[in-house]
Amino acid sequence: MNLRKLLSKDNIFLDLKSNTKEEIIEEIIDRLVASGKIKDRNAALKAILERERKMSTGMENGIALPHGKNNSVDKLITAIAVKKEGVDFDSIDKKPAKIFVLTLSPLNRTGPHIQFLAETSKLLRDSETREKVLSAKTPKEIIRLFNE
């Protein structure tokens, strides 16, 4: 999967303001709606929150991978977002999440969604990569990091 094609300055947010899991998801969705990447805000939000209710997507090492499937998008869309202070995301290791990788894909497509989550997880397993994400000042730095 070519991460370069999925990432742009329109879907990398290094300055999240929200302070709860639901607010973080909502803020990311709202920014994707504003950039024209999501057609139906409420449907997209519902899909991600329903998935989150089934099982938290808070992983380990400060990473959360909220995702869902809904026809508010025509193809896989993603966002990478950062909240340096961290937010309780019901993570596996009980630590706050600081790096959020949100994905939304159409109901009829499974491959790209799973492949993107797997590749992103693999990249973010490395503590040095996580530190670079957290210290990035511009979306361009994130794009370069995910395409090395």
Q: Is residue 113 annotated as part of the catalytic site, yes or no?
A: no
Residue type, 86: G
Distance from C-alpha of 57 to C-alpha of 39, rounded to nearest angstrom: 23
Residue 140 CA neighbour count, 13 Å, CB half: 1
Catalytic residue among 67, 69, 83, 113: 67
Q: How far is CA 43 from the centre of its chain?
A: 17
Separation CA 109–CA 81 (nearest Å): 24
- Whole-number Å distance between alpha carbons of 35 and 33: 5
Angle 114-116-1 (CA atoms, 0-180°, nearest 5)?
115
Catalytic residues: 67
